[in-house]
Amino acid sequence: DGDGADATAARMERAGLKGAELTLIRAEAAVLRGRPEDALALVAQDNSPTAWRIRAAAKLAMKDPEGALVALRQGAAAGNDPLLLRDYAKFLTESGDLDGAALQVAVMERIAPDGYDASMLKADIAARRGRMAEAHAVLGKLAERYPAVVEPWVARAEIYDMEGKLDEAIRMTAKAADIAPADPRVVALQVQFASMKGDWAKVDKAYAGQS
């Protein structure tokens, strides 16, 4: 929500916030509002991990993954910031560098043992390596620890789908729907799995709930 972030920055400025912290908030808002060049200009003189994280997001928005990787590496070298390490691990995971991603997750776990982001990433890496039981175990613990959060259930549904276990995937999706029935990811899974089952009434019902 770039507009919301920008409005928040304006309120904080009126309340007396100024300096580097306000600039970082404005830079993040600029990325979210689709103005990555403005974000880069705002953090041009800042070498904090947060600034490097914002640079990486801006570079990705500008379709420059190489520049994003450089920014993430610089940010990791600047300090162990959990949000930057999260984004770095996600970038490496999506790039197929699972060993590199696992190294960043290990640092995250040293900073915050059993942290949410580190656990979600750990499960994703395990699933991509074909270690499905490990991924389910991590996600199951997360679901117990954060009962109002839908992501672990969605992730488990997707992993069961990868395993070809449709009924289990549907069961995980139902758990997710109990928490957030209107979440677009949940609705998409409901439609996908109902279509695979040929249950067009459920497909229609899912779409009707979005209208």
Structure confidence at residue 44 as a pLDDT band (50, 70, 90): very high
Side chain identity at 21, as an amino acid letter? E
Q: Which two tokens stand for residue 7?
A: 């409005």
Instruction: Name the region of 115 (left: φ>0; alpha: ψ -120 to 50; beta: rest).
Output: beta
Q: What is the model's pLDDT at position 209? A: 63
Q: How far apart, in Å, are the Cα atoms of 103 and each of 61, 73, 77, 122?
A: 25, 13, 14, 10
Question: For the ranges 85-99, 103-117, 123-137, which has the lowest average pLDDT?
Answer: 103-117
Structure confidence at residue 82 as a pLDDT band (50, 70, 90): very high
| Distance separating alpha carbons of residues 184 and 207, to the nearest angstrom | 10
| Distance separating alpha carbons of residues 48 and 156, to the nearest angstrom | 35
Q: What is the model's pLDDT at position 133? A: 97
Is the pLDDT assigned to residue 211 strictly greater than 60? no
Q: What is the model's pLDDT at position 205? A: 77
| Distance separating alpha carbons of residues 199 and 202, to the nearest angstrom | 6
Instruction: Report pLDDT digits (tens) over 170-186.
Output: 999 999 999 999 999 99
Average pLDDT over residues 4-30: 73
Q: Which two tokens stand for residue 94?
A: 């999506």
Instruction: Report pLDDT digits (tens) over 190-204.
Output: 999 999 988 788 777
Average pLDDT over residues 122-147: 97
Average pLDDT over residues 124-131: 97
Q: Which residues contact 57 (CB under 8 A, 6 or more apart)?
A: 28, 31, 36, 39, 68, 87
Q: What is the model's pLDDT at position 137? A: 97
Angle (CA) 104-124-32 rounded to 5° is 75
Q: What is the model's pLDDT at position 2? A: 54
Side chain identity at 19, as an amino acid letter? G
Q: What is the model's pLDDT at position 64? A: 97
Q: What is the model's pLDDT at position 202? A: 79
Give the dihedral sign, CA 107/113/115/121: positive
Q: Global pTM?
A: 0.84
Is the pLDDT assigned to residue 107 strictly greater than 80? yes
